[in-house]
């Protein structure tokens, strides 16, 4: 994935939107060749609902949980709840 600088993105904004919308590309924008923002195509969903859970699952929104310890193991569970 190509990382566009903020200056490049500003100069080519219309072209970047067209790439995302029509070619279904994901575009990263950042500084110092480090990805900071991701442009993705708007999801094709019925109605006005946006799949927020899918967006969060594919982003780093909950990355902080990877550093959290596991509080419970399977042996800690007394009953299986479905």
Q: pTM for the complete prediction? A: 0.56
Tell how far CA 33 is from the center of its chain: 18
Alpha helix ranges (H) inside the chain = 6-11, 13-23, 52-57
Which of 73 and 24 is assigned the larger pLDDT? Answer: 24
Give the model's confidence band at 73: pLDDT under 50 very low, under 70 low, under 90 confident, else very high.
confident
Determine the pLDDT at residue 8: 95
């Amino acid at each position: 994935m190509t990382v566009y600088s903020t200056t490049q993105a500003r100069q080519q904004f219309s072209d970047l939107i067209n790439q995302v919308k029509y070619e279904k590309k994901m575009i990263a924008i950042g500084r110092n060749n480090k990805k900071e923002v991701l442009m993705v195509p708007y999801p094709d969903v019925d109605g006005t609902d946006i799949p927020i859970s899918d967006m969060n699952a594919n982003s780093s929104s909950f990355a902080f949980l990877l550093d959290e310890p596991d509080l419970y193991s399977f042996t800690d569970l007394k009953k299986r709840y479905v």
